Amino acid sequence: MSSPDHQHDNDIARVTQRAKDIEDKLPKLKAWMEQGKLILSMVKDYWSGKYREVPYWVISAGALALLYVLNPVDVIPDIILGVGYLDDATVVAFCLKLIERELERYKEWQVAQKNPSAAKSSKGPVIDV
């Protein structure tokens, strides 16, 4: 039976062996991290009371994903160059899939806040009778 440390060594070795595959995926991870910033913005707007049109579980899921990213004790330590943030990106990607619809609504709300007249006109013309 192998020790837990031996298993971790095997995992690290496997990551090292698949470094090229992982590097090929890194540009995709950047997009997930940009989405992570959007989650952070939504959580901050919820906390400040600016945006409350969202179920609480969505905010909780986003906050937990962001806390995982902040946590220094990761499945893959952040100090490992090239792959250290892979687990962070995976958690953010999972969260994004879970809250995708609510995040789209939040982005629409952000646009409406920046340009209220565009938000009104996007709903179609107002016809007075």
Cα angle value 48/52/53 (rounded, 5°) = 155
- Residue 91 has a pLDDT of 78
Which residues make Cβ contacts (< 8 Å) with residue 46, sequence separation at least 6? 52, 54, 59
Where does the pLDDT of residue 36 fall: very low under 50, low under 70, confident under 90, or very high at 90 and above? confident
Q: Examine residue 123 and state whether it is found in any structural domain, yes or no.
A: no
d(CA 64, CA 87): 14
Q: Examine residue 37 and state whether it is found in any structural domain, yes or no.
A: yes
Where does the pLDDT of residue 44 fall: very low under 50, low under 70, confident under 90, or very high at 90 and above? very high
Is 0.85 surpassed by the pTM of this model?
no
Question: Could you list the residue range(s) of the whole structural domain that residue 80 is in?
Answer: 25-109
Q: Examine residue 82 and state whether it is found in any structural domain, yes or no.
A: yes
Question: Which among 75, 17, 15, 10 is positioned nearest to 2, based on CA atoms?
Answer: 10
Query: How many structural domains compose the chain?
Result: 1
Please give the mean pLDDT across all residues of the chain. 73
Q: Examine residue 65 and state whether it is found in any structural domain, yes or no.
A: yes
Q: Examine residue 7 and state whether it is found in any structural domain, yes or no.
A: no
Q: Examine residue 88 and state whether it is found in any structural domain, yes or no.
A: yes
d(CA 60, CA 64): 6
